[in-house]
């Protein structure tokens, strides 16, 4: 079973090499390689999830070298759950992007640029989830960031280059800080193995531990877009192509949250930063949702809700209890699927109408009822309408806060309730303006439009219908069926978390208990080396 652990990291990289060797030829084979690779990664992730839940943490040592010399990849309940959910999301988004690029006659650029960068990012996400040492975690972040730089600027428009420059500067600055933190940790302990660090940090002077913890925490706060380090996200994500934006929103910030969970549970249990995390969670929730309420563009509204709901996850981590950590884990899994599906639907709205500005939308419930349903269901899930998984995740976190009983925990409970209500207001306002009211003049309609449209992507050159920040937007009255299928699959996956709430909650609790116990992880990695 341990032999399967490197597959989610290595297989996408091998696929990248094969695709680059093929070049722009054999586009159907190229598509098959991408979809086949991600399908295998999903199947392997599910196998590892079942095995880790039954047997405890599984470890693969690269080259047969044990810790601390070798690189350890660790598959425990938390990492395999995140890996399984992210693999399902990346597969659906890849199918969506294939359908879009074929319909728009962009498959040459897609095959030569988009797909390799996409698969490199997938490998980086998998490596970050499975990494058993700090430096390899850094490598995973750099792989996913390298791929994301390319995806964010794909097309080379002015808005994407500008947003990509901001994103790159933020990414490089946090990566440099990450290297500094790794150097300090290695200088103080003589290792970067997280299992060994968990043992050696406990005997270090308090000020040294606090320095390393705060430095690493700052790195992951930036990457997770936690207030006050979240201002970069709403200006960066909305400019990317729809599949890239959806993947960024669903996964990249969650890798930062995952790292915070691993950091606080394994390396610095019961550290003094709990109150800092609680304040950060509260401000992230409130500032993010207030920003969402003020937006008049669907992409920016969703970007601000993305920031806001990161606060719920940090809330669970800050409580540092099995119940709180389990709530955070459940909410991360839920939010990955819901946020990704909402951005995919927004991409279809933009393709259908030429805009995501609420001032230019209306009547979509009548014009495109399928898109209306695909937006409405995850939007209500995001807002936490019972009995959906968004409600169940928030309920678990609120119960954990009440059980804690501290003044700050109860304040966060109140903040979480306010945030949920304001999220409902934001998505309901968006629904009313985009889907319910009378269409404004100039919007794409079935009978005629001011915008120039194509009926579908069956071979005719796609025509730019509108301009947004210097970018031509392709519009079409009809959508490629695979765009609907992949988006509907993600919406269904999020709804399945409601149907399977009992088993998923139990798995989250077992993952949280394993995290806080620490000993299963440390023993699995070090074994006889302790």
Instruction: Give, for 401, the enclosing helix (H) or strand (E).
Output: helix 389-404
Neighbours of 333 (CB within 10 A): 24
Tell me the three state secondary structure of residue 454. Answer: strand
- 42-78 pLDDT, tens digit per residue, is 999 999 999 999 999 999 988 777 666 778 899 999 9
Q: Determine the angle formed by the axes of helices 481-499 and 77-103, rounding to 10 degrees.
A: 160
Please state, in angstroms and rounded to a whole number, the distance separating the CA atoms of residues 229 and 98: 34
Contacts of 493 (CB under 8 A, 6+ apart): 88, 92, 337
Q: Which pLDDT belongs to residue 250?
A: 87
Listed residue (436, 427, 430) closest to 390, CA to CA? 427
- 267-288 pLDDT, tens digit per residue, is 988 778 888 999 999 999 999 9
Q: Which pLDDT belongs to residue 529?
A: 58
Q: Determine the angle formed by the axes of helices 27-55 and 115-130, rounding to 10 degrees.
A: 10
- 228-262 pLDDT, tens digit per residue, is 888 888 877 777 788 888 888 888 899 999 999 99
- State the Rg of the chain over Cα: 22
Q: Which pLDDT belongs to residue 473?
A: 57
User: Under a CB-based contact definition with an 8 Å cutoff, are residues 24 and 111 in contact?
Assistant: yes
Listed residue (387, 388, 400, 382) closest to 509, CA to CA? 400
Residue 107 has pLDDT above 90, yes or no: no
Residue 266 has pLDDT above 50, yes or no: yes
pTM to 2 decimals? 0.90
Hey, where are the domains in the chain? 2-529
User: Under a CB-based contact definition with an 8 Å cutoff, are residues 316 and 327 in contact?
Assistant: yes
Residue 117 has pLDDT above 60, yes or no: yes
Backbone angles phi, psi at 434, to 5 degrees: -85, -35
Cα dihedral sign, 310-312-318-324? negative
Q: Which pLDDT belongs to residue 475?
A: 62
Place of tokens 């390396």: 267
Listed residue (191, 38, 65) closest to 126, CA to CA? 38
- 280-316 pLDDT, tens digit per residue, is 999 999 999 999 999 999 999 999 999 999 999 999 9
In DSSP notation, 90-145 reads HHHHHHHHHHHHHHTT-HHHIIIIIHHHHHHHHHHHHHHHHB-BHHHHHHHHHHHH
Residue 336 has pLDDT above 90, yes or no: yes
- The whole-chain average pLDDT of the chain stands at 86
Q: Give the pLDDT band (50/70/90) at residue 449.
A: very low
Please state, in angstroms and rounded to a whole number, the distance separating the CA atoms of residues 297 and 300: 5
Pairing of strands 72-75, 58-61: antiparallel
Listed residue (418, 136, 102) closest to 283, CA to CA? 418
Pairing of strands 471-474, 464-468: antiparallel
Tell me the three state secondary structure of residue 343. Answer: helix
Please state, in angstroms and rounded to a whole number, the distance separating the CA atoms of residues 131 and 384: 32
Q: Give the pLDDT band (50/70/90) at residue 507.
A: very high
Listed residue (221, 210, 227) closest to 257, CA to CA? 221
Residue 471 has pLDDT above 60, yes or no: no
Q: Which pLDDT belongs to residue 466?
A: 43
- 342-360 pLDDT, tens digit per residue, is 999 999 998 888 888 888 8
> How is residue 520 written in tokens?
């299963």
Pairing of strands 464-468, 58-61: unpaired
Listed residue (167, 78, 203) closest to 131, CA to CA? 78
Tell me the three state secondary structure of residue 60. Answer: strand
| Furthest-apart CA atoms within the chain: distance in Å | 73
């Amino acid at each position: 079973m341990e032999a399967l652990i490197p597959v989610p990291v290595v297989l996408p990289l091998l696929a990248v090499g094969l695709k680059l060797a093929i070049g722009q030829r054999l586009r159907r084979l190229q598509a098959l390689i991408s979809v086949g690779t991600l399908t295998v990664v999903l199947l392997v992730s599910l196998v590892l999830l079942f095995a880790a839940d039954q047997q405890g943490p599984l470890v693969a040592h690269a080259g047969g070298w044990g810790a601390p010399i070798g690189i350890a990849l660790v598959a425990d309940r938390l990492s395999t759950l995140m890996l399984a959910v992210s693999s399902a999301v990346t597969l659906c988004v890849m199918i969506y992007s294939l359908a879009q690029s074929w319909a728009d006659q962009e498959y040459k650029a897609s095959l030569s640029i988009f797909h390799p960068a996409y698969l490199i990012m997938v490998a980086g996400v998998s490596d970050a989830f499975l990494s058993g040492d700090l430096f390899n975690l850094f490598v995973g972040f750099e792989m996913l960031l390298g791929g994301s730089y390319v995806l964010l600027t794909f097309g080379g428009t002015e808005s994407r280059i500008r947003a990509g420059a901001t994103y790159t500067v933020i990414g490089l600055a946090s990566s440099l800080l990450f290297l500094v933190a790794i150097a300090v940790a290695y200088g103080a302990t003589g290792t970067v193995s997280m299992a060994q660090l968990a043992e050696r940090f406990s005997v270090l002077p308090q000020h040294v531990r606090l320095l390393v913890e705060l430095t690493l925490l700052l790195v992951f706060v930036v990457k997770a877009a936690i207030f006050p380090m979240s201002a970069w996200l709403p200006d960066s994500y909305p400019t990317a192509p729809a599949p890239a934006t959806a993947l960024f929103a669903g996964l990249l910030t969650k890798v930062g949250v995952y790292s915070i969970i691993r950091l606080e549970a394994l390396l610095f249990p019961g550290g003094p930063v709990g109150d800092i995390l609680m304040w950060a969670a509260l401000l992230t929730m409130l500032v993010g949702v207030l920003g969402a309420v003020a937006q008049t563009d669907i992409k920016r509204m969703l970007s601000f809700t993305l920031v806001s709901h990161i606060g719920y996850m940090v809330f669970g981590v800050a409580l540092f209890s099995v119940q709180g950590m389990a709530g955070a884990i459940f909410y991360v899994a839920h939010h990955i699927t819901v946020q990704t599906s909402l951005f995919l639907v927004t991409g279809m709205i933009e393709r259908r109408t030429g805009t995501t500005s609420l001032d230019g939308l209306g009547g979509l419930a009548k014009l495109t009822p399928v898109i209306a349903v695909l937006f409405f269901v995850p939007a209500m899930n995001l807002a936490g309408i019972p009995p959906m998984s968004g409600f169940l995740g928030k309920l678990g976190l609120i119960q954990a806060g009440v059980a804690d009983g501290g003044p700050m925990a109860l304040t966060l409970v109140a903040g979480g309730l306010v945030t949920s209500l304001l999220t409902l207001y934001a998505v309901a306002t968006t629904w009313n303006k985009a889907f319910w009211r009378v269409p404004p003049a100039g919007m794409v309609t079935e009978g005629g439009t001011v915008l120039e449209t194509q009926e579908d992507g069956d071979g005719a050159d796609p025509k730019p219908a509108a301009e947004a920040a210097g970018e031509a937007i392709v519009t079409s009255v009809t959508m490629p069926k695979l765009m609907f299928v992949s988006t509907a699959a993600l919406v269904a996956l999020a709804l399945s978390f409601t149907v399977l709430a009992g088993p998923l909650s139990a798995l989250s609790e077992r993952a949280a208990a394993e995290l806080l116990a620490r000993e299963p992880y440390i023993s699995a990695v070090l074994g006889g080396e302790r």
